[in-house]
Amino acid sequence: MIKKIGFVVITLLVVALAWYLFVKPSDYIINFKVKTTPGTVVQSIKTWNSNLTASTITEQHGTSAIVQERQFGDSTVTYTYHAYALNDSITKVSVGIKDAEHSLKNRLTVPFSNTLFKERSTANVMELYEALNEHLKQIKIEITGIQKTPSTYCAYIPLKSMQEAKALGMMRNYGYIGDVLVRNNVEMNGPPFVEVTEWNQETDSISYNFCFPIIRSENLPISDEIKYKRLFEKDAIHAVYNGNYITSDRAWYALLAYAKRNNIEVEEKPLEVFFNNPNMGGNELEWKADIYMPLKQESLVQVD
């Protein structure tokens, strides 16, 4: 019996060692927690990566995972980030790090010493952690519950871009649409807004209408670029966002998390109403936007 137990123990140890040395996806894993949503984590990693040298995002799996390759001398190191929502406000980020050319060496040395690979990996993840927390200090999101979206007639320009380029599209067209409407004595009916018509969360690409609410009349200016339509009210989950409009999509992820938590089915086509003109600058935390995530008609609206 003792020999059998010993054999089983040795076998398990050998299997565990073989898995650690040759099968385990990463050479080293670092975990941390942050007070935000997985979607905001993934978007923040992409923003942080854009400011690094010799670093590329190679894969993205929705809002749950993203893969980054970084070059350090003769080493190509892969960072695989997984983001998991632990509760209403906390996300756990697990970072798996692997240097394919030196993987076996790393696995043998990491548990016992502070190697260059281990120290560099820790420093890089800490840099991300600090950048992420600094970003979170620059935005504020407050979900207020179910409200009606605005109902208005509007002039709009249809646009396509990546999520982070939405604000740039607004800034480029703000003056043009406004000038055409003012020059033709069109009466405004509220602040401009963005109506997202398509949102690909795998690629972060969006199609959207940049809209100016107006009073409908018989003498609206005719233009190849500017179109007109009526926007009807809908029930939607509403949030107030404060911060740079470039990152207003952080509120989208917060609204989706709220919907999931409360078993509310939504159309993933957010509507954003902007109360400040980014061209005027100012304290970004004082910029305000109302963000709406429309409900599907059959969705439940009971919330905790």
pLDDT band at residue 277, thresholds of 50, 70 and 90? confident
Q: Is the pLDDT of residue 8 over 60?
A: no
Q: Is the pLDDT of residue 12 over 70?
A: no
Distance from C-alpha of 46 to C-alpha of 49, rounded to nearest angstrom: 5
- Tokens 């995972």 sit on residue: 65
The tens digit of pLDDT for each residue in 200-231 reads: 998 899 999 999 999 999 889 988 899 999 99
The tens digit of pLDDT for each residue in 96-114 reads: 999 978 766 777 777 778 8
Residue among 28, 201, 182 at smallest CA distance from 109:
28
Distance from C-alpha of 166 to C-alpha of 188, rounded to nearest angstrom: 22
Lowest-confidence range among 41-45, 179-183, 281-285?
Answer: 281-285
Q: How far is residue 112 CA from its own chain's centroid? A: 37
Cβ pair 194, 166 in contact under 8 A: yes
Average pLDDT, the chain: 89
pLDDT at 281: 77
Domains annotated for the chain, with CATH where assigned, are 22-137 (3.30.310.80), 141-294 (3.20.80.10)
Distance from C-alpha of 81 to C-alpha of 44, rounded to nearest angstrom: 12
Distance from C-alpha of 116 to C-alpha of 99, rounded to nearest angstrom: 12
Cβ pair 165, 205 in contact under 8 A: no
The tens digit of pLDDT for each residue in 51-99 reads: 999 999 999 998 889 999 999 988 899 999 999 999 888 999 999 999 9
The values of phi and psi at residue 26, to 5°, are: -125, 155
Q: Which string of b and e fits 125-164 if b means at least 16 CB within 10 Å?
A: beebbeebeebbeebebebeebeebbebbbbbbebebebe
Q: Is 17 helix (H, G, I), strand (E, B) or coil?
A: helix
Helices (H), the chain: 2-18, 38-50, 103-109, 116-137, 166-183, 249-261
Distance from C-alpha of 266 to C-alpha of 235, rounded to nearest angstrom: 10
pLDDT band at residue 17, thresholds of 50, 70 and 90? very low
The tens digit of pLDDT for each residue in 173-199 reads: 999 999 999 999 999 999 999 999 999
The values of phi and psi at residue 159, to 5°, are: -135, 160
Residue among 18, 25, 7 at smallest CA distance from 78:
25
Cβ pair 101, 76 in contact under 8 A: yes
